[in-house]
Every structure is written in C-alpha cells, then in structure tokens.
Amino acid sequence: MSIKAQKGTKDILPNEIANWQNIEKVAYETFSKANFKEIRTPIFEDTNLFERGVGDTTDIVNKEMYTFIKSDRSITLRPENTAGVVRAYMEHGFHRESPPVKLWYKGPMFRYERPQAGRQRQFHQIGVEMFGVQDASADAECIMLATEFLKGLGLNDLVVEINSLGCNACRKEYKEQLKKAIAPFLEGLCEDCRSRYEKNPLRILDCKNETCNKLFEEYKLKDTVSGIKLCGECSDHYSKLKEYLNALNIKYEENTFLVRGLDYYTKTVFEIKSNNLGSQNAVCGGGRYDGLVETLGGPHTPAVGWAMGVERLNALIPKVDENKIDYFVVSDVQLEAVKLVSKLRNNGFSAEFDYNSRKFAKQLEKASKIANFALILGEDEIKNNYITVKNLSDSTQTKMKFEEIVKR
C-alpha cells in the first residue's frame, strides 16, 4: 500500500454509509416540508467569487483555500457554499422570481487546514439559504429548520446561541465603541487580537486566548458590549427574531460575544453547539447576509442561511446498522441458483448466492451473516418444484412455491 488517501480526507466506507444516507434523507424531508428546493453547484468556482464573497480578511480566504491556475484562470475549490449558491441565484435569474427563494444544498467543501478531531480538509456540509425576505420571520424559519432537522436526527439537546451584529451603518458605530472599550487594555492582548483591532475588531470577541479572556473579564467587556446599541431598525429586527423564536418554542441563549468568521454576515448570527464534540463544537453556523448578493454584483437582496458539518453531526448520531439483504439462495446447482436470484431481483427483492457453490453449511453461514432469509434450492426442491424458506433469525423453515415467496 503506497498511495493513501490525502491528509485530511476520508473514505466513507459501506459500513458507515447508512448514517450518511439517513442524514441526507432527513434533510430532504425536513427542508421539503418548508418548501426549500435542493440546488447543486460546482465544487470549483472562480477564485474571485470567494475573495469578494467570503471576504479577503477572513482566514478562509487568506490561508485555507485550494487555489490553482488552469488556462490562465484562477480556480478555487469551494471552501463553503453560500457564495456559490448566491452566484447561481443571480446567474439563473432567481432574483427576478417572486420572493422568497428557498434553497438547500449538500456536498463536499475544501479547506486547507491542519486536520484534527472534527476538522478535515475535505468535509461535507448541508445548508440552507433563503433569499428575499427582510422580516425576522425568515431568520426564525431558518433557525427552526435547523432545530427541526436536528430533532429529526434524534438530537434534541443542542444549544442555539444567537446574537445580532447590526447592519453596515450601526456596525461601524459598534466597531468604534468596541475599539474604545478595548483600547485601555489593547497592549495586553495577544498578537492576533492586536492585529484584529484595526482589521476586524469584532473577531477579538471570538478570541480563545486565556490572557485575553481574563482581560475581557477584568474590564467587563461583556457588559460594555451588551450596552452597545444597534440602530433602531436592527434592534427591532433582533427583538422580533426573539419574539418569533419564543412563539415557535425554540430555546436559545443570547451570546453577545458570538461573531462569525465570515465577513458577509449582518444583523442576525447564530450557532448551534454540542458539548460532546471536543474543541470543534459548532455543528451549525449561520446568519443573515443582506449585503452579499449586492457585493457579488446583484440587486440588494436580503438573505439568511446556515450550514452544518455532516461529519460533526455524524459524530453525535449513533451508528446505524447496515441493512441485511432479503434472500440468500443456498444451492448446489449453480445454474438454478443464478436463475432464482435473478427472478427475485426482478420482483423487487435483494438477493445473493454463493459464487463458489460451497457446501451447504458454508453457504448457510454466509447467508446468516448477510441475509434475513435463506432460500434452499437443492436436488429435492428442484425435482419437486418447491423452495425451502429458512428464517435465519428464528431458524424456522417452510416449503413454498416461488409465487408464494414473491407475494410475501
């Protein structure tokens, strides 16, 4: 074995595929009920899409993209899918349809990072995007969709955290006040925070450095941040969101320190976390991005969305067993076995047989591992035109005609 799967990538093997299929099925069912339509966009795009869309101050764009040049074009493997969906939304004229336009997607994303538990270079996301609604009911619907989806997967005890970052106008003011609050202890903060201070001060709130966090507490940064007022429209939006969530019976916690790593978010941001995932504890992240469509060259379009990490979801979900096949044909007459297997399959059953026509004991052994029933077709059965049906879980055995088997 010399060539191996690349660092940070994983084969999803047959014995774990049932979990993936289940997640995708629940996603489809949940989102369809809310009239979200699936969209599949290419896994590579023009590099500009991400530089402009995700934001060139973000880590994702700065150091995590898989970018290459092909025929003088700069191409990037998508590190996330919101930008791609927005691109497709505009390219196919969805913005001329009557809003809302509600889309969901699933698929692989690529980020060049050091892998660790819950973090791979190729990973999978399922996400939703909702375009054209300014009202907070859209934010609430998206959050509800996330909690419904998680509920459908049997995950009920996850914590929804929400916050509002304000619009472009009040965010500017917000940043100024934040910087003012931080200025007194700026020197004590870590190197990253000091550089964030000018480039993207909001991200300082997201810092996990202990020294920084101590300083935040010492200077009561939390209180200061909670005290910063959003503009009237934004604070209205935020309180309406909370009203909707309350009405929908969705539990949430307000986290004034919640900031997202992508530049496009405005107003609402939220995360869903689990305590059972170690340090990569966010299962779902999202928010409102009212400026993104415009940034990418479209008309002003309010929008909200989120993405979930499928690998992380999977880590929280108990393993689903592989399904057994319906019938295993046990026979020492290979030709008859092949014919029976084929007839069973044509009638909608899954069926297998022993390609090596080994002795019955071996065939039964194999059958018991992979099938629910064994169909024994030996000399006596062939001569007298019946099949011995053996239930492999309780060892009961009955003689039946093929037609009777098909009708079961």
Buried-state track 54-88, b at ≥16 Cβ within 10 A, e below 16: bbeebebbeebbebeeeeeeeebbbbbbbbbbbbb
Q: Is residue 321 close enough to count as binding RNA by CB under 7 A?
A: no
Inter-CA distances, 260 with 124, 269, 306, 386, Å: 19, 7, 11, 67
Q: Is residue 207 close enough to count as binding RNA by CB under 7 A?
A: yes
Cβ burial of 343 (10 Å; 0-12, 13-18, 19+) is: middle
Is residue 213 within 8 Å of residue 207, measured between CB atoms?
yes
> Which range in 2-10, 45-53, 160-168, 337-345 contacts RNA by CB under 7 A?
2-10
- Residues in 340-369 that interact with RNA by CB under 7 A: 356, 358-362, 364-369
Q: Which is nearer to RNA, 3 or 69 (CB)?
A: 3
Strands of the 266-273 sheet, one edge to the other = 37-38, 101-110, 122-131, 303-309, 282-288, 266-273, 159-164, 253-254
> Which range in 23-31, 59-67, 144-152, 174-182 contacts RNA by CB under 7 A?
59-67
Q: Is residue 283 close enough to count as binding RNA by CB under 7 A?
A: yes
**CA atoms of 66 and 73, how far apart (whole Å):** 14
**CA atoms of 310 and 81, how far apart (whole Å):** 14
Write the binding mask 385 to 404 for RNA: x where contact by CB under 7 A, - elsewhere. ---x-x-xxxx-x-------
> Which range in 4-12, 45-53, 66-74, 141-149 contacts RNA by CB under 7 A?
4-12
Write the binding mask 256 to 275 for RNA: x where contact by CB under 7 A, - elsewhere. ----xxx--------x----
Q: Which is nearer to RNA, 198 or 394 (CB)?
A: 394
Neighbours of 47 (CB within 10 A): 18
Please state the closest distance from residue 232 (CB atom) to RNA, in A: 28
Q: What is the signed CA dihedral for 24, 27, 29, 30, rounded to 10 degrees?
A: 170
Q: Residue written as tokens 């080994």?
A: 358
- Residues in 110-139 that interact with RNA by CB under 7 A: 111, 113-120, 123, 125
Q: Is residue 323 close enough to count as binding RNA by CB under 7 A?
A: no
Please state the closest distance from residue 196 (CB atom) to RNA, in A: 8
Q: Is residue 322 close enough to count as binding RNA by CB under 7 A?
A: no
- Residues in 79-98 that interact with RNA by CB under 7 A: 80
**Angle separating helix axes 136-152 and 14-33, nearest 10 degrees:** 140
Phi, psi of 355 (to 5 degrees): -65, -20
Q: Which of 208, 232, 318, 335 binds RNA (CB under 7 A)?
A: 208
Point out which residues bind RNA (CB under 7 A): 4, 6-8, 58-60, 64, 80, 111, 113-120, 123, 125, 192, 203, 206-209, 260-262, 271, 278-285, 307-309, 311-312, 332, 356, 358-362, 364-369, 376, 378-381, 388, 390, 392-395, 397
